[in-house]
Amino acid sequence: MKQFTITSNDSGQRLDKFLKKLMPNAALSLIYKLNRKNNVKVNRKREDNEYKLQEGDNVQLFIKDEEYDLLTIISKPLVQKSDKEGLNRKDIVYEDGELLIVNKNPGVIVHPGDFKTTELSLIAQVQDYLGSKLNSLTFKPSLIHRIDKDTSGIVMIAKTKPSLDVMLKALQSNKIEKVYLAVCLGVPPETRGVIRKKLRRLEHAERENKIVIDNEGGQTAVTHYQVLETEIHGKYSLIECRLETGRMHQIRVHLASLGCPILGDNTYGNKQENAFAKRTYGIGRQLLHASRIRFTHPSKKTEVSYTAKLKEDMAELVGR
């Protein structure tokens, strides 16, 4: 018999969902069969699969050790990590028992599911970094939000299930302020303003899911911007953007709509100018950086703000 005590990280989920996460190699049909045959008990009695586990519940699983081992064994990752591929502590902006804030490097995907690849992801680096520090039966550190592969800067990870729930609710309510810095071609007609243009996702776009402006059928998207510097190398500007909504590729599409595409953006930008910047300055990605984030801490209930330094390629180009 296996016995488990439910903690705050594992509470709030259905019994069958918990068992599936606990035993990833078990088919749902097997889990239902185990429960039907009274091989699963919660607080010494049988509960329906829909039962919501509570903190402090005792789950008993009547199963042979060798069968349990087969159902829980995790295969070796397809990605072989080297020491250089681990999370660099210098990229940690803030960490406590609930949150981890990282200054992500460009070229790193945040989650393997985004690209269906075995390429090393930020979340894999985080889970490797935290290792056995976190004690949970089914919960793993989880992304609170995401940024594009070639966008650098702040990404927040929840280290506990309660903090994830609070932060996701805040994100959905637009209570997390996110500020970005972008190096753009040209200068907007106004030094500051608000871009209100609805965005629609093209479902069958090749290579990358592209976004188009569609003020009739698109989703509301609002970007506040301010020009910080102009005449960078005679043709570029540094623009600060604050998101009121968080649509896919929102800043990239909105700035391009002003005639000021982000330098290095090969989807929405100027390919000729991008090629020039790559030859001349070694720019190999879109120069967009998640610079600052402001939110209410999930347990401290106080407003906090964190800033991530520009990565080397952007910093050198703008002289910061």
Spatial distance between the Cα atoms of 22 and 63, rounded to a whole number of angstroms: 13
Report d(CA 15, CA 52) in Å as an integer: 6
Task: Determine the Cα–Cα distance for residues 27 and 111; give it in Å rounded to an integer.
Answer: 25
Pairing of the two strands 288-296 and 303-307: antiparallel
How many residues in total does the chain contain?
320
Residue 265 CB coordination number (10 Å): 27
**DSSP for residue 317:** H
- Of 254, 209, 246, 10, whose CA–CA distance to 114 is shortest? 209
| Residue (of 314, 318, 42) closest to 151 by Cα position | 314
Half-sphere exposure of 60 (CA within 13 A, CB side): 11
The Cα–Cα gap between 269 and 252 comes to 8
Asked if 16 is an active-site residue, the reply is no
Annotate 235-264 with DSSP letters as a single string. TEEEEEEEESS--TTHHHHHHHHTT-PBTT
Token look-up 């790193």 returns 108
* Closest to 240 measured CA to CA, from 298, 310, 305: 310
Question: 């790559």: which residue's tokens?
Answer: 278
Catalytic residue among 91, 148, 265, 313: 148
Active site residues: 148
